[in-house]
A and B are shown apart, each in its own frame.
Chain A
Amino acid sequence: DIQMTQSPSSLSAFVGDRVTISCQASQDIGNYLNWYQQKPGKAPSLLIYGASNLQTGVPSRFSGSGSETDFTLTITGLQPEDFATYFCQQHHDLRELTFGGGTKVEIK
């Protein structure tokens, strides 16, 4: 299995801050990396696909970067509605898709 390790597992930030979340794959996955946002009691929603492509309708303050084993999700100018949990997911190995453990972004 390809293991996905996210860091940090949680963070506190102010509205307006720049936030970065890291995701590391246990092996080279190219750019087969997606990011999701999940709010309490709701289903996840797709933010970024292919490591750096913004899903339609997602605000441009969200961005993704990275390749091979190291990836980053950046929120530039954190908004109140961005307080949520974020997950990365690899789709390099279609036989065993895997998610990172999640990063909870909380209000400071």
Chain B
Amino acid sequence: EVQLVESGGGLVKPGESLRLSCVASGFPFSNYIMNWVRQAPGKGLEWVSSISSSSGYIYYASSVKGRFTISRDNAKNSVYLQINSLRGEDTAVYYCARSGQRFDLWGQGTLVTVSS
């Protein structure tokens, strides 16, 4: 089955770190750009970061640059998002999404809640 499965979310305190994971199956993972997109409760979608198929280029939204790090392991069909210095405004469902020219496959999301 073609799918993306995220994990690693949870309740964390401000200032703490978290590492999100996304495992892909059913398609040639190493051929695709992978992305993280987040959605705060009751809000719209916000693109967070993209990583090319061979990790040759990496982009971040200005709102997360310097605190978030995206990486991938093609041997494990996985993409990761390291989130440091978490803030309340980082509270959101984080989706992993596959792309070429569009986000055509999404995971179910993992919820990150930042609260003291």
- A residues near B (Cβ < 8 Å) are 1, 32, 34, 36, 38, 43-46, 49-50, 55, 87, 89, 91, 94-102
* Secondary structure call for the B interface: strand
A87 to B43, CA, bound (A): 11
Q: Which residues of A contact B109 (CB under 8 A)?
A: 43
B109 nearest in chain A by CB position: A43
Evaluate contact between B44 and A87: CB separation under 8 angstroms: yes
Which residues B84-114 have CB closer than 8 A to chain A? 95, 99, 101-104, 106-109
A–B pairs, 5, beta carbons within 8 Å: A44-B45, A46-B103, A89-B103, A99-B45, A101-B44
Evaluate contact between A43 and B95: CB separation under 8 angstroms: yes
B61 at the A interface (CB under 8 A): yes
Interface size on B, residues (CB 8 A): 19
A98-B47 contact in complex given A1-B62, A91-B101, C-beta closer than 8 Å: yes
B27 at the A interface (CB under 8 A): no
A97 to B103, CA, bound (A): 11
Evaluate contact between A96 and B59: CB separation under 8 angstroms: yes
Which residues B44-59 have CB closer than 8 A to chain A? 44-47, 50, 59
Q: How far is the CB of B95 from chain A (nearest CB, A)?
A: 6
Given A32, A99, A101, which contacts B47 in the complex, CB threshold below 8 Å? A99
Q: Which residues of B contact A50 (CB under 8 A)?
A: 101-102
Q: How far is the CB of B98 from chain A (nearest CB, A)?
A: 10
A46 nearest in chain B by CB position: B104
Q: Which residues of A contact B59 (CB under 8 A)?
A: 94-96
Evaluate contact between B106 and A102: CB separation under 8 angstroms: no
